[in-house]
Copies of this chain bind each other. A is one copy, B any other.
Amino acid sequence: MTPKLRVAVIGAGYWGPNLARNFSTSAEWTLVAICDLDRDRAQALADRVGQVEVYSNLDELLARDDIDAVAIATPARTHHAVVMAALRAGKHVVVEKPIADSRERAIDMVSEAARRGLTLMTDHTYCYTPAVLKIRELIAGGALGELLFIDSVRINLGLVQPDVDVLWDLAPHDLSIIDFVVPTGLRPASVSAHGADPLGAGKACVGYLTFLLENGGIAHVHVNWLSPTKIRRMVIGGTLRTLVWDDLNPQQRLSLYDRGVDLNQQSVDEADRRSSAISYRLGDTWSPALPEHEALTAMATEFAGSIREHRPARTDGEAGLRVLSVLEAASRSLAAAGSMSAVEQSAEQQVEVLPVEASAALAGVSR
């Protein structure tokens, strides 16, 4: 039997307890320590999850050589410092989204992990829900055909925060999901963002984000803090079928429609013939059963798998960086009245990266 990997949770605030609870009950992991600047908060969390040690000093924690990995749930502005320290101490890392507060720092982190052959994973939790895992599987299996459009709506009465606008608050969910399910990942050349702050809150409370998919399709994200009705729905249209994910309908989260418009490509050269070349499919609808599991459990398992198999995690640091790159471009577009704003290249094209496999020997994984 493979021995369990050993992990510490850093940050005992909002999200840390969820991480601690999941690692402490995981078949892959032993939770050995919790670290927080506020020692009392760390201790309170430790009491709830059983026999783990408590640290308020990060360096002390990282100095331990019986810890394989750390899970970081500190504020975004601290991610770079904490992650870099952990990587330098030879620890594998999973870090909350956003991976960092700037692309530059994120690239630094991704490069460092690659150089050291360590796993750097972004905790895009939504990607590990049964619904999103199924969507990824369906698209990869060709059930939708070529993707034509993705339309995502995530609106609800929300936290109007003075330091983060609604795009940075909510769109990371949609973007990380799109990155996860689209076979080529989230790699738009440019994005357009529109927003409004009609309350005078100081930041956009309503946001719209648009970009093109690689094949000419379109993606659109609508996020809104001011809506009294809650909607979380993503429609993914393909040439073969269209998928609707209604996350607030537990009785039928996913619906796959064998309905759509078909264009007979052979007769598009002439307007009159073109219109007659259109036909409609009005086929059945199918709603696959979804297994029940907690997303964080699957995330923890993937983290372990990445470490043990010396492969990138499904939501690796690059994924976090791609999401961050789009958010930064969106902010520039928002400032420029919605003009298309170029998305900067991702790290994989910018930094010299050792293959994960090749550099695994450096990683000091406890096996």
Interface residues of A (CB under 8 A from B): 146-149, 151, 157-163, 192, 194-202, 205-206, 208, 210, 212-213, 215-218, 220, 222, 224-230, 235, 237, 239, 242, 244, 251-252, 255, 257-261, 263, 265, 268, 271-272, 274-275, 278, 280, 282-289, 337-340
Contacts and interface: CB of A to CB of B under 8 A. Distances in A.
Contacts of A200: 263, 265, 268
A226 B160 contact: no
B148 A198 contact: yes
Contact of A225 (B162, B261, B338): B261
A229 B251 contact: yes
The interface centre, meaning the residue of A210, A244, A255, A272 with most chain B CB atoms within 10 A of its CB, is: A210
A289 B201 CA distance: 26
> How many chain copies?
4
Contact of A274 (B162, B213, B228): B162
Given A157-B259, A274-B162, A340-B337, A220 B194 contact: yes
B261 A157 contact: yes
Contacts of A224: 149, 151
A226 B271 contact: no
Nearest to A213: B198
Contacts of A163: 271
18 contacts: A148-B206, A149-B198, A157-B280, A158-B261, A160-B263, A160-B275, A192-B192, A194-B210, A195-B218, A201-B278, A205-B261, A210-B338, A226-B261, A228-B237, A255-B287, A284-B289, A286-B286, A338-B340
The 5 residue pairs across chains A and B that have the minimum distance between CB atoms: A196-B218, A228-B257, A228-B259, A148-B198, A285-B287
Given A157-B280, A237-B226, A338-B210, A196 B149 contact: yes
Given A162-B274, A252-B285, A284-B288, A198 B217 contact: yes
